[in-house]
Amino acid sequence: MSGLTRSFRGAMKPRPNAGDHRGPTSRPAHSARVWDYWLGGKNFYSTDAKVAIELTEMLPHLGRAARAQRGFQSRAVRHLAESGVDQFLDIGVGLPARYGTHEVAQVAVPTARVVYADKDPVVMAHARALMAGRPEGAVAHLHADLRDPDEILLGAAETLDLRRPVALLLLGVLEHIADDEEAQWIVKRLVSALAPGSHLVAGHLTGALSPAAMERAVAHWNTTTAPGVVSRTPEAIAAFFGGTELLAPGIVTCSRWRPGPGSTVPAVHRYGGVGRVIY
């Protein structure tokens, strides 16, 4: 877990031999590559690293928030797998990083089946090359857009049995849907197709801790990086969980979702939760 818990200062230092720093400086930054920088990956360009550092200068610990959400993802997937969930639909997967959904789930349940979906063809090419699961289970990759949930459900049904419980992961992807009504509709459509006993795992950027600084950082993101993002309040994030029963501790800063006994962790600029589908 050391890659997920490095200090903010250490994570923001440029890393020699990581990424193609020879890439043209005019290359627009990309969300997946900025995240890859924050998560300690190698698949970013100098422009992405520059934007990642600029954003964290505007909003300290934004990189820590990305890593905290990754830790939240691992803990949530592990909890659900150990509770008997053996099917996972991870939408907006991003570039491959350690402790992916299939890696965590198949440690607990080797026969777990995972579908990754993303609209970016480069992201999916990386995923197909690097994200393969155990032979006892299954890992599939779906090139599809979150804005077309029916296409995602149709493609996922080739690997997952939607008549049985599925864990739906929407982590760092709903913030790319600027319109609140559209984002709510997408989540409701996906959740409504899942069997009772399924779970929604969602994490989202929020300005609850530093509203003014977050506003500036989001504005900078949207002038330098594609796709653009919005931040939402904890109340707006909680609204995505309609039709589910929230697992304790509810909607919280991602770092504080079941961090382990005796853990003392700082709040971060991402909130998340896990809800059990009840309709």
pLDDT of 50: 96
**Looking at residue 10, what is its pLDDT?**
32
SS3 232: coil
Half-sphere exposure in the Cβ direction for 196 (13 Å, CA): 2
Q: What is the pLDDT of residues 106-124, one digit of tens each?
A: 999 999 999 999 887 666 6
Supply the DSSP string of 92-136, one letter for each residue.
S--S--SS-HHHHHHHH-TT-EEEEEES-HHHHHHHHHH----TT
Q: pLDDT category, 11, cuts 50, 70, 90?
A: very low
Over range 26-46, report the average pLDDT: 88
Instruction: Give residue 136's pLDDT band: very low, low, confident or very high (50, 70, 90).
Output: confident
Residue 263 pLDDT more than 80?
Answer: no
The pLDDT tens digits for 38-91 are 999 888 999 999 999 999 999 989 999 999 999 999 999 999 999 999 999 999
19: left (phi over 0), alpha (psi -120 to 50) or beta: left
Task: Give the pLDDT score at 99.
Answer: 72
Q: Is the pLDDT of residue 7 over 50?
A: no
Question: 245: exposed, middle or buried (C-beta count within 10 Å: 0-12, 13-18, 19+)?
Answer: exposed
Entry pTM: 0.87
pLDDT at 115: 95
Pairing of strands 29-30, 87-91: unpaired
What whole-number distance in Å separates Cα of residue 113 and Cα of residue 106?
8
